[in-house]
Structure 1
Amino acid sequence: MLLVGCRSGRAGLLALPLLALLASPRPLQAAAATEADMLLYTRIAALNVCVALVAEVPFDKAVVIAGETIARVIRGEHDSAIEQLGGQPLSLDELRRGSINSAVLGAAEVCPDQLPESVRRDVEAAVQRVTGSEAIPPPPQPATLPPGDAAN
């Protein structure tokens, strides 16, 4: 079989997966980001901030990059909607602000020693205002096996 406009037909064969992708049904509206999605995105943003800080990226840039990434993921994967906030689409600016805040709070849990002292103080003050707690809880520690139970 020879496809129109192609001498060998190879280009047409290469286009078949693209045509199949375009023809496949797409959901009309993506599901809002769940609490589990948001926890994952916050953790990813926090880790991105921590890695960037180790690589000597200035804190402000590290946080903006991590926040922008997560805001765009929520926009693209969830049509800008978050279940915990009512499931209605948020503006990109609202997503950015929330994602940056999440990145900072997450980084304060994951790598507090890498944050600027003023940021660490501000985060601790904000956490205290909201929860009444004196400090940011430490991240969970990996489980340890009793002596003699170590895997080989």
Structure 2
Amino acid sequence: MPAHRCLLRTSRVIAWMLSLILCVLSPLAMPAAARADVPGTLQAQAAPSVFEQGPASSEQLALYARIASVNTCIASAAGEDFEQAAGVAGETIAQLILAVHQGLIPTSGSTPLTLEDLRKGSINAAVIGATEICPKQVPAELRDKVKQALASQPSITRG
């Protein structure tokens, strides 16, 4: 089969798979009130959508930090620059906290954090976690700074 036909067939398969995923996941992204009006959706879903959550809990923040740390380790192991990997992982978590939790975390009370504050905290969490998970992939100077900062703050909670 000629290469152009193979590429065409592959792109059709990918498009079909993406449309299938979209059909399956789109009802989950809708607020619960909107899902009630869509024929064919399950009405037994009384729980709010993931997009309707309140402030992030400590457990959720620990999970998000762990995800960012693991993603940083995976990306840097694959050859990505460590700082770039930590930045992307941190940005992802910051955007998640802003979208899902309206920027609210336990220590902020009822005042939402700005995207910039969320970025700083999420990137720091990714770097701290990567120092624990994959220390050999963290640049030595940065790893030493993290260890020094953790040693000077015995009350810090690690995710």
> Which bracket does the TM-score occupy, shorter chain normalised?
0.5 to 0.7
1:102 corresponding residue in structure 2? 125
Find the counterpart in structure 2 of residue 31 from structure 1. 54
Alignment match of 1:21 (pick from 25, 29, 35): 35
Alignment partner of 2:98 out of 64, 68, 75: 75
TM-score (norm 1): 0.68
> Is 1:120 matched up with 2:143?
yes
| Equivalent pair of 2:91/2:119 in contact (CA under 8 Å) | yes
Contact persistence 1:63–1:100 (CA under 8 A): yes
Q: Which moved more, 1:38-47 or 1:109-118?
A: 109-118
Give 4+ residue runs of structure 1 displaced > 4 Å after superposition.
17-20
Contact 1:35 1:84 in 2 (8 A): no
Structure 2 distance, partners of 1:98, 1:106, is 12
- Higher helix residue share: 2
Query: Among 50, 58, 63, which residue is 2:86 paired with?
Result: 63
Matched residue count: 118
- Output the CA distance in 2 between the equivalents of 1:87 and 1:45: 25
In structure 2, list runs of 5 or more residues that go unmatched: 1-22, 39-47
Is the 8 Å Cα contact of residues 53 and 59 (structure 1) preserved in structure 2? Answer: yes
Unaligned runs of 5+ in 1: 1-13, 140-152
TM-score normalised according to structure 2 size = 0.65
Change (3 A) 1:114 1:88: same
**Structure 1 residue identity aligned to 2:35:** L
Contact residue 90 and residue 123 of structure 2 kept, 8 A: yes
**1:30 CA drift (Å):** 3.5
